[in-house]
């Protein structure tokens, strides 16, 4: 059993912290900006809650974070009452936020100067994956720190991989989002085309999902897309945040992402339709408007 802190109890962080306590058997203290939610978590999982990130992190072996973006991450780490001010020597900070590789490297340098370790460890699998403890975790950092943290991370994961040095986890998550964006747009266009052609979409998917066109998105999202229901997963606002990170990194490393840039604009159209909180499969709604 390890002593663990978890900072950020959103739709992902709340169940992830829960698995660290219930499945991993660790001693877990949580922090959330909404203190009521932290108290609710502590009651539900027989854990502890703290008034600040620093108070949550003090003396812990492992400190996790899962917040909104780069600025949120800086606030809970190096900001006033941030976790970095209380981390003990040799501890490991594991960031599950989808953020930039740049901020990961920045915080790694700060952690090193303070005598502890930093891993960037964004996750994939969405809310359902978090709730089921079946996330995929892409990690960047030193191998020794990774090996120490891996058994703890596995409390909420089905796959944990070391992708390279700090920043590599975030870069891998960018590839994940790039691939998803193209897949969802292709699925949306396929369903839209099938409807216009007068085909039975369920019959179509039953056949083509068993061939080269098959994908997780097709298996798990075609029914809700076909029904025009878009409240089953990762929100458009968050996807645009992630694609913005991808496009900014591509601008730095000179990668060409024409399809990603185009799909990002399609998601902007969905936002303008009022679909900010719809899930990413709502690209179909744009085609049908």
As annotated, the active-site residues are: 173
DSSP string, 260-287: HHHHHHHHHHHHHTT-TTSBGGGHHHHH
Tokens of 76: 């809970």
CA distance 281 to 169: 25
Q: Which helix (H) or strand (E) holds 139?
A: strand 135-140
Q: 25: closest CA among 154, 148, 139, 135?
A: 154
Yes or no: say if 4 and 59 are a contact pair by the CB < 8 Å rule: no
Strand pairing partners for 49?
30
Among candidate residues 170, 171, 174, 146, the one with its CA nearest the CA of residue 160: 146
Here the tokens at position 247 are 């496009």
């Amino acid at each position: 059993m390890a002593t663990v802190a978890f900072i950020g109890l959103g739709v992902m962080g709340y169940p992830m912290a829960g698995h660290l306590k219930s499945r991993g058997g660790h001693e877990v203290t949580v922090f959330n900006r909404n203190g009521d939610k932290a108290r609710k978590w502590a009651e539900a999982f027989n854990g502890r809650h703290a008034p600040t990130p620093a108070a949550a992190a003090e003396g812990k072996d492992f400190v996790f974070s899962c917040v909104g973006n780069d600025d949120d991450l800086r606030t809970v780490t190096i900001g006033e009452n941030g976790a970095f001010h209380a981390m003990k020597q040799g501890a490991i900070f594991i960031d599950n936020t989808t953020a930039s590789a740049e901020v990961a490297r920045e915080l790694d340098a700060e952690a090193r100067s303070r005598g502890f370790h930093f891993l960037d460890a964004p996750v994939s699998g969405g809310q359902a994956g978090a709730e089921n403890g079946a996330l995929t975790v892409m990690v960047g950092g030193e191998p020794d720190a990774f090996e120490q943290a891996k058994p703890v991370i596995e409390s909420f994961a089905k796959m944990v991989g070391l992708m390279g040095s700090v920043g590599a986890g975030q870069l891998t998550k960018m590839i994940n989002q790039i691939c998803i964006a193209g897949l969802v747009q292709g699925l949306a266009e396929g369903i839209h085309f099938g409807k216009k052609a007068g085909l039975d979409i369920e019959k179509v998917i039953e056949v083509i999902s068993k061939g080269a066109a098959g994908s997780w998105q097709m298996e798990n999202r075609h029914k809700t897309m076909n029904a025009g229901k878009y409240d089953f997963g990762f929100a458009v606002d968050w996807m645009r945040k992630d694609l913005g990170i991808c496009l900014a990194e591509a601008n730095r490393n000179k990668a060409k992402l024409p399809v990603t840039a185009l799909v990002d604009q399609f998601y902007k159209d969905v936002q303008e339709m009022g679909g900010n909180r719809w899930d990413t499969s709502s690209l179909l709604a744009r085609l049908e408007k």
